[in-house]
Chains A and B, each alone.
Chain A
Amino acid sequence: MKLSGSDILVRTLIEQGVDVVFGYPGGQVINIYDSLYKFSGELKHVLTAHEQGASHAADGYARATGKVGVCIATSGPGATNLVTGIATAYLDSVPLVAITGNVPNTTIGTDGFQEIDITGVTLPITKHNYFVGRVENLADTIREAFRLAKSGRPGPVLVDIPKDVQIAMGEYAPQPLVQPDPAQPAKEIRIHQAAACINSAQRPFLYFGGGLITSEAQDELLALAERIDAPIGCSLMGVSGIPTDYPRFLGMQGMHGHYACSMAMHHADVIIALGCRFNDRVTGDRAKFAVGTKIVHIDVDGAELGKTVNPVHGLRGDVKKTLQKLLPLVNSAKHPDWQAQIAMLQEEEAAGLDSREGMTPRNVISALNHRLGENTPVATDVGQHQMWAAQYLNLKTTRRFISSGGLGTMGFGMGAAMGAALGTGERTVLVTGDGSFGMNLNELATAVSHRIPLVILLLNNGVLGMVRQWQTLFFDKHYSNTNLDARQTDFVKLAQAFGAQASRVLTLEELEGAFTEAFACDGPYLIDCAIDKDEFVLPMLPPGGSMDDIIVRIGD
Chain B
Amino acid sequence: MKKFTVAILVNNQFGVLNRVTSMFRRRQFNIASLTVSETESEAFSRITVQSEGDEIKKEQLINQLYKLPDVVSVAELGDLETVSRELLLIKVKNDPDVRGDIRSASDAYEGKMVDYTKESIMIQMVGDSRKIDNFIDLMRDFEIMEICRTGIVTLQRGGTTIRRVTNL
Alpha-carbon distance between A124 and B23 when the two chains are bound, in angstroms: 7
Question: What is the distance, in angstroms, from B12's C-beta to the closest C-beta of chain A?
Answer: 15
Say whether B15 faces chain A, with CB atoms less than 8 Å apart.
yes
CB-CB nearest in chain B for A133: B14
Say whether A543 faces chain B, with CB atoms less than 8 Å apart.
no
Question: What is the distance, in angstroms, from A199's C-beta to the closest C-beta of chain B?
Answer: 27
Chain B proximity mask over A114-137: 1 for CB below 8 Å, otherwise 0: 000001100110011001000000
Contacts A123-B22, A310-B56 given: A302-B69 contact, CB under 8 Å? Answer: no
Question: What is the distance, in angstroms, from A159's C-beta to the closest C-beta of chain B?
Answer: 13
Give the size of the chain A interface in residues (CB under 8 angstroms): 15
Say whether A148 faces chain B, with CB atoms less than 8 Å apart.
yes
Q: Is the CB of B60 within 8 A of A307?
A: yes
| Chain A residues, Cβ within 8 Å of B26 | 124
Contacts A124-B26, A310-B56 given: A303-B67 contact, CB under 8 Å? Answer: yes
Q: Is the CB of B69 within 8 A of A127?
A: yes
Alpha-carbon distance between A148 and B68 when the two chains are bound, in angstroms: 11
Question: What is the distance, in angstroms, from B76's C-beta to the closest C-beta of chain A?
Answer: 15
Question: What is the distance, in angstroms, from B71's C-beta to the closest C-beta of chain A?
Answer: 11
Question: What is the distance, in angstroms, from B93's C-beta to the closest C-beta of chain A?
Answer: 42
Say whether A15 faces chain B, with CB atoms less than 8 Å apart.
no
Say whether A438 faces chain B, with CB atoms less than 8 Å apart.
no
Question: What is the distance, in angstroms, from B88's C-beta to the closest C-beta of chain A?
Answer: 33
Q: Is the CB of B22 within 8 A of A302?
A: no
Say whether B18 faces chain A, with CB atoms less than 8 Å apart.
yes
Q: Is the CB of A123 within 8 A of B18?
A: yes
Contacts A306-B59, A306-B60, A310-B56 given: A148-B69 contact, CB under 8 Å? Answer: yes
Alpha-carbon distance between A131 and B14 when the two chains are bound, in angstroms: 10
Say whether B66 faces chain A, with CB atoms less than 8 Å apart.
yes
Say whether A512 faces chain B, with CB atoms less than 8 Å apart.
no
Say whether A426 faces chain B, with CB atoms less than 8 Å apart.
no
| Chain B residues, Cβ within 8 Å of A120 | 18
CB-CB nearest in chain A for B64: A303
Question: What is the distance, in angstroms, from B53's C-beta to the closest C-beta of chain A?
Answer: 13
Contacts A123-B22, A306-B56, A306-B59 given: A301-B67 contact, CB under 8 Å? Answer: yes
- Measuring CB to CB, which residues of chain A are less than 8 angstroms from any residue of chain B? 119-120, 123-124, 127-128, 131, 148, 301-303, 305-307, 310
24 A-B contacts, Cβ less than 8 Å apart? A119-B15, A120-B18, A123-B19, A123-B22, A124-B22, A124-B26, A127-B67, A127-B69, A128-B68, A128-B70, A148-B69, A302-B63, A302-B66, A302-B168, A303-B60, A303-B64, A303-B66, A303-B67, A305-B63, A306-B56, A306-B59, A306-B60, A307-B60, A310-B56
